Structure 1
Amino acid sequence: MKKGYVFSMILMLLLGSVFVNHSLLSSTSAQASDTSYIDVSPIGEDGSVAGSPIVTAVLKQGSSVEKVTFYAKAKNEPDANYYGYAPDYQAPYSWNWPTGAPWVPDGEYTLMMEIIYSAGETEILTRDIVAKNESEPNAPESPKDLFLTDRTSHNVTLSWTPSSSEKIFDYVIYQNGIQLAETTTTSFTVDGLVPGEYYSFRVKARDIYNNQSIDDNSINVLMPYETGDTDPLPSISQIQAEGNSGVTPGGNGYSGDVSLSVLATDNNQVEKVEFYVKVLGAPEEDYWKFPTTRKHNDTYSVNWSTTYTPEGHAIIKAIAFDSAGQSKTVTSVFLIDNVSDGGTTDPTWEPAESPPANRIVGYLAGWSTYGAYDIVRDLDASRLTHLNYAFALIDTNLNVVMSDPVQDPKNFQALSTVKETYPHLKTIIAIGGWGGSANFIEAAATEESREIFANSAVQFMVEHGFDGVDLDWEYPVTGGGPGTYPNPADRDNYPLLLEKLREKLDEQGEKDHTHYLLTIAGGATAGFANNTQLGLSQQYLDYVQIMTYDIHGTWESLADFNAPLFDDNGKTYSVDKGIQAYLTAGVPADKLVMGVPFYGYRYNVTSNDNNGLRQPFNGSGSITYNRIVKDDLLSNGYQRFFDEGSMVPYLYNETESIFISYDDEQSIALKAQYIRDHELGGAMIWELSQDHGNDLLSSLYEVLKEPIMDTTPPTTSAQITGEEWTDHSMIQKATVTLEAEDNRSGVEKTEYRLNEGEWLPYSNPIIIETDGSTRVDYRSIDRQGNIEDYSSYDITIISVTFENLYMIVDEADIHHGQKTALLAHLHQAERAKTAEKRHEKLEKALQFVKDMSNEHISETDQQQIQQFIQLIIDYQQ
């Protein structure tokens, strides 16, 4: 430790000691104890300290103390490096310990108290504690250039260049993700390996504060069967970045779209190169993989849109794989600097006079508040009905947890403040998303897992002040986001999961005297509707959001529209196609909430044909509407076009060959009008912070603020039940059951009439028992007064009487003599004085008919007469 550092530290601690003892003399002394120990207060929930905690020696009861001295050192420093505070000679024995850079960087420390008792006895107390003041981790750089200096069939020798960080203590070697050994040198031999097996190795630097490096330098090695028969590892360069500089003058960050590239080679061939990104302090499992990698000769690259990464440091990882399955990894840390540090500004929008009469649902990404977006200042809740907060996650125990325990609580509190001003706003916690859909499969799999998940979701909702739950599972059956996988059982489990959630939400709602919302966001395809049994599942939902965007994007080979409203005569899939797929699947129109994007995609096209539309590209990225407006692209080389076939705009810069698909105020208004024309349930937005001064939200609001007039009448279906005799004829009686549906305002009443008489209100099934023909007309009327054109059904009732039997016999094609004989049998039965005698005569008549030959009666008439005689026998009984 440098002498100047120790002197400055002691001076600062001495001053701190004087202040603390002075202040504590007037406060309560530390409590005595049976044994002595070191108390540190306050301590955070994670066991760490920040700022200037108070460190106190709590002494055993009855002790007489001469003095107590406080010392501290970094965890991995030798004891000789303990630095001491000024000793204290009277109780309470407390010191301020001012943590934080530069004197006490984040990390693990050992605190020590030297207690000298009046009798001359000395007691030493120690305690380990973690100091944590910064949001980003204090981690040393990993050693670079991990390579093999030797490889046999059973061992490898790893070597690396030293870490460039100061205060390095040692290096930690990991094999297959498990800590294997520590060393203070820059090489290590691993023995006991198996020929033909793959092994991954990684070396981390560890500093005196016990912090380990988090950037990567791992390799994956194939062990040879014979010594000398080795396949060299692939070679990969450090990651290069090209893009716009950050907005902070003199800073070294990046803003907007950044091109990341590496040079990768191999003695045979490079099989692939993969790129990943995560926030610097996030756990390893948070790495997000770039969907595609471009290759040009030995250069591999991806486009990184930094607007989707929170402000601060992010870590990029690139892995080169050779044809044998071996790999080498490199990482680099980059500063994201998209947002100006120059103070806040007042909002440029005015609140609406009244909330919209139709649903306008906006997603708000929690990470947006790491930038310039301020919820209380910038969220225009006056033009929203619902807000979905994105996202909560499902942990491996199937419980719903925060995705960002640092920022989420602040955002939840800000939303509560907004709701005080706009009490009409309903806030909903969205669970999942592309990056957070892992563990949905497991949550939905069994009755027990659904119970655990549903209870946790409801608890999370209530605890954090939300009004409902939104499931963003991307995607059931097929898989999609990180941690998901294809699973056919999802099709049956999806509606069961919703049913359980609905049950638990309703139970909580009864306790709280409110209705809690349940919604989903689904992919805009018939496949998603089928994979989730959406016609069945929708019954558990308050409304269904369809993600009618990302219809085309940077993962494809041609530049195309993000969210075309129409298909342009079959040239593209479209928003309209997605809507029709959901309606066909059985989602009621008034439940269907159509997604609209507040962002677009930017493509570096390789051809100027068709103004870049549907042309190949060699670079791409997302772009927000806010960025398009703030950068004033229309005054900086871009020309706006409007595609009449798809009803969306696009921008093109011919000089730079850049095509941008996006939505603006005109296209958003057209989509809102589509919602109104098709009497849908409203609009859903991804994502609110991407708007510019709430321009797009205002455009949506202006079209949807007034109620959508219901011009579509209800539809009524009739079910006729009874014992059928012939088409439209029933034996003895018929029951008519009516059922009406209306997609928007709801059914006001259903009514019917008989034989064009007076219209009567329908409440119970209609019973028709009058012999002969009856005409039933029926219709429904909705709450907007739309009257359905009536439908009719003619029903003939055949009473089981001798009179009707004589009529059937009379109309039958029977030989004259046989008919006369049959009528005689029937007259005898009708005139019989007892039921037994009547039954006997009817049985004889029935047998007489059965014995008739085809020469005397047609087969159809024979069967019909037999059936009716049997009916009279049955009814007589």
Structure 2
Amino acid sequence: MKQINLMVLFLLCISTTTIFAQKNKKMDIIAYYTGDAKLIDEYEVNKLNQIIFSFCHLKDGKLSVDSSKDSLTIKHLVSLKAKNPQLKIVLSLGGWGGCEPCSAAFSTAAGRLTFAKSVKEVSDYFEVDGLDLDWEYPAIEGLPGHLYQAVDKPNFTELLKTLRSTLGKKYELSFAAGGFQKYLDESIDWKAITPLVNRINIMSYDLVNGYSTVTGHHTPLYSTNASEESTNRAVEFLLKQGVPAEKLIIGGAFYTRTWINVEDVNNGLYQPGKHVEGVNFKDYAKTYTEANGWKYFWDDKAKAPYWYNAKSKTFATSDDIKSIKAKTEYVKAKKLGGIMFWELTLDTPKDGMVNAIYEVKSAK
């Protein structure tokens, strides 16, 4: 009898270890997606765990799908789940400049309930798996001219409470969180919202943004000095706030931030310049070439690449294959919930950034 008990205990230990090993190995690859119903078929959907359709907006206080084209796209995304059982489809509200009415609409209990009911109605109609809130930003300035007020912070908590009670537990609920310190300090009541959401998608990019007149790493894994924003800085802050590691998703950038009129000092890094439109990852190979005057640099402390063109005095910063792999290794080491990125159509359909993430995820 004692031998049988020992055997049962041994098998239970093996089983438990296996369960925890599987849990720790799981990391989600989450794609924000702005394309249409056809373009998605060019990409390796089998390597993704979640696609976040971007974007829906507020109309008369309700979640609105903007057009028949968007409606067709959402329906097609949902249809992909038949061949990809790991896949979840989530609708996103807002985006940069896309949440102008949010502060006012979510300022009353009635407004929050109206919105939550519309989310349930739209989600049930399309048979999607949940909602991602991309309000940039509660309580602090986002796009100049958009309403923001201190009361946004408690109202955001109340909004999530209303959404969770209206949607129930089966729906995914997440939000895109600014990765910079002012947002982390002032926009969100982290202890209050953590039990209400499945994940927090940290926008650990645009940490040096288009309003900056000085160059820098826009999506570094680590800070190189005490005042520099970074992915790790945001993660460590949120872990200290008590957010479970498995609810934290870090962000990758599939596009460069670019500055002109940058003098050839420190290869353009941390120098004055004028921000201009950047380049998408799928165009890196034909843009950032030596023939075009570009040199590639790797900041080993930040785990981030950058490019400088001395002839045109142009500087560019982003993620690339090397840095996105480093971020994915970081997710595994920290046992975070996964990695997301902006956005899928900026990648090459094959052998690009998504594939690099997937390779690291799948490696033992």
Q: TM-score, normalised by structure 2?
A: 0.87
Q: Distance in 1 between matches of 2:143 and 2:106?
A: 17
Aligned residue for 2:20? Answer: none
Given the superposition, is the C-alpha separation of residues 666 and 503 from structure 1 closer, same or farther in structure 2, using an over 3 Å criterion?
same
Is the contact between residue 592 and residue 680 of structure 1 (CA under 8 Å) also seen in structure 2? yes
Question: Is the counterpart of residue 388 in structure 1 residue 57 in structure 2?
Answer: no
**Residue 552 (str. 1) matches residue 208 (str. 2):** yes
Cα deviation, residue 551, structure 1: 0.5
- Aligned equivalent of 2:285: 629
Secondary structure in structure 2 of the residue aligned to 1:561: coil
Give the 5 Å matches for 1:260-299.
none
Q: What corresponds to 1:357 in structure 2?
A: 26
- CA deviations 1:812-865 (Å, max 9, x no partner) are xxxxxxxxxxxxxxxxxxxxxxxxxxxxxxxxxxxxxxxxxxxxxxxxxxxxxx
Structure 1: which amino acid aligns with 2:255? Answer: Y
Match of 1:398 among 61, 76, 79: 61
Alignment gaps of 5+ in structure 1? 1-355, 510-514, 708-877
Q: Out of 350, 360, 363, which is 1:703 matched to?
A: 360
Task: Report what 1:444 is aligned to.
Answer: 106
Instruction: Indicate conservation of the 8 Å contact 1:526/1:582, yes or no.
Output: no
Contact 1:525/1:581 (CA < 8 Å) preserved in 2?
no
- In 1, the alpha carbon distance for the partners of 2:229 and 2:287 equals 30
Contact kept in structure 1, 2:212 and 2:275, CA below 8 Å: no
Give the corresponding residue for 2:244.
Answer: 588
Q: AA paired with 2:32?
A: Y
How many Å separate the matches in 2 of 1:523 and 1:360? 19
1:479 partner letter: E
The CA distance in 1 between the partners of 2:233 and 2:141, in whole Å, is 22
Say which of 155, 162, 177 aligns to 1:522. 177
The 3-state SS of whatever aligns with 2:277 is strand
Match of 1:573 in 2: 229
The equivalent of 1:721 in structure 2 is none
CA contact (8 A) 1:553 1:559 kept: no
The one-letter code matched in structure 2 to 1:522 is A
User: Secondary structure of the equivalent of 2:250?
Assistant: strand
- The one-letter code of the counterpart of 2:172 is L
Q: Supply the distance in 2 between the matched residues of 1:536 and 1:427 (Cα, whole angstroms).
A: 26
In 1, the alpha carbon distance for the partners of 2:226 and 2:315 equals 21
Mapping for residues 46-57 of structure 1, pairs under 5 Å: none
Asked if structure 2 preserves the Cα contact closer than 8 Å seen for 1:364 and 1:388, the reply is yes
1:111-145 CA-to-partner distances (Å, cap 9, x unmatched) read xxxxxxxxxxxxxxxxxxxxxxxxxxxxxxxxxxx
Residue identity matched to 1:389: F
How far apart, CA to CA, are the structure 2 residues paired with 1:433 and 1:414? 22
Map of 1:495 onto structure 2 = 157
Query: Residue in 1 aligned with 2:95?
Result: 433
Paired residues for 1:365-764 under 5 Å: 365=34, 368-369=35-36, 374-376=39-41, 378-395=42-59, 397-403=60-66, 405-481=67-143, 484-506=146-168, 515-530=170-185, 531-570=187-226, 572-618=228-274, 620-631=276-287, 633-694=289-350, 695-705=352-362
> Residues of 1 paired with 2:33 and 2:282: CA distance?
15
Alpha-carbon contact 2:36-2:70 (below 8 Å) kept: no
Q: 2:7 is matched with which residue?
A: none
Task: Kindly state the Cα deviation for residue 482 of structure 1 after the two structures are TM-superposed.
Answer: 6.2
Larger RCO, structure (CA 8 Å, separation 6 or more): 2
Give the conservation status (yes or no) of the 8 Å contact 1:391–1:433. Answer: yes
Gaps of 5+ in 2: 1-24
Higher normalized helix content (fraction of residues): 2
SS at 1:703's partner residue? helix
Distance in 1 (alpha carbons) for counterparts of 2:223 and 2:184: 20
The alpha-carbon deviation at position 478 of structure 1 amounts to: 1.3
Q: Which amino acid in 1 is paired with 2:173? A: L
| Equivalent AA in structure 2 for residue 624 of structure 1 | N
Superimposed CA distance per residue, residues 302-348 of structure 1 (whole angstroms, 9 cap, x where no aligned partner): xxxxxxxxxxxxxxxxxxxxxxxxxxxxxxxxxxxxxxxxxxxxxxx
Distance in 2 (alpha carbons) for counterparts of 1:606 and 1:406 = 44
Conserved in 2, the CA contact under 8 Å of 1:385 and 1:424? yes
In 1, distance between residues paired with 2:147 and 2:232? Answer: 29
Letter in 1 for 2:26: A
- 2: distance between equivalents of 1:525 and 1:662? 16
Matches of 1:527 and 1:539 in 2, distance apart? 22
Measured against aligned partners, the alpha-carbon deviations of 1:535-584 in whole angstroms (never above 9, x if no partner) come to 21011001111110001123111121111111113362211111112222
CA distance 1:467–1:680, change in 2 (3 Å): same
Contact 2:215 2:271 in 1 (8 A): yes
Is the contact between residue 637 and residue 655 of structure 1 (CA under 8 Å) also seen in structure 2? yes
Give the distance between the partners of 2:332 and 2:206, measured in 1 at CA.
23
Q: How does 1:209-358 map onto structure 2 within 5 Å?
A: 357-358=26-27
1:213-245: CA deviation from partner (whole Å, max 9, x where unpaired):
xxxxxxxxxxxxxxxxxxxxxxxxxxxxxxxxx
Deviations 1:398-428 (A, max 9, x none): 111123x042023123213322221321000
2:109 and 2:274 map into 1 onto residues whose CA distance is 48
Kindly name which structure, 1 or 2, has the bigger radius of gyration based on alpha carbons. Answer: 1
Percent same amino acid among aligned pairs? 28
Letter in 2 for 1:401: S
Shift of 1:630: 4.0
8 Å contact kept, 1:552–1:562: yes
Read off the aligned partner of 2:260 and give its amino acid letter: N
Q: Greater strand percent: which structure?
A: 1
| SS of aligned partner of 2:316 | strand
Q: Secondary structure at the match of 2:279?
A: strand
* TM-superposed deviation, 1:657: 1.6
Q: Secondary structure at 1:555's aligned position in 2?
A: coil
Is the CA contact 1:361–1:684 (under 8 Å) kept in the aligned structure 2?
Answer: yes
Report the secondary structure of 1:674's partner residue. helix
Amino acid in structure 2 at the alignment position of 1:363: Y
Secondary structure of the residue aligned to 2:155 is helix
- Secondary structure of the residue aligned to 1:469 is strand
The Cα offsets for residues 475-506 of structure 1, whole Å up to 9 and x where unpaired, read as: 11113136632311112111111011001111
CA distance in 1, matches of 2:107, 2:44: 39
What is the RMSD computed on CA atoms of the aligned residues? Answer: 2.0
* Whole-Å separation in 1 of the counterparts to 2:274 and 2:177: 30
Q: Residues of 2 paired with 1:547 and 1:482: CA distance?
A: 19
Whichever residue aligns with residue 399 of structure 1, its letter is: K
Cα offset, 1:443, TM superposition: 2.9
SS in 2 for 1:572: coil
Q: Is the 8 A contact 2:288 2:295 kept in 1?
A: no
Asked if structure 1 preserves the Cα contact closer than 8 Å seen for 2:278 and 2:316, the reply is no
Query: Compared with structure 1, are the counterparts of its residues 674 and 434 closer, same or farther at alpha carbon in structure 2 (3 Å cutoff)?
Result: same
Q: Which amino acid aligns with 2:150?
A: P
Q: Distance in 1 between matches of 2:181 and 2:242?
A: 11
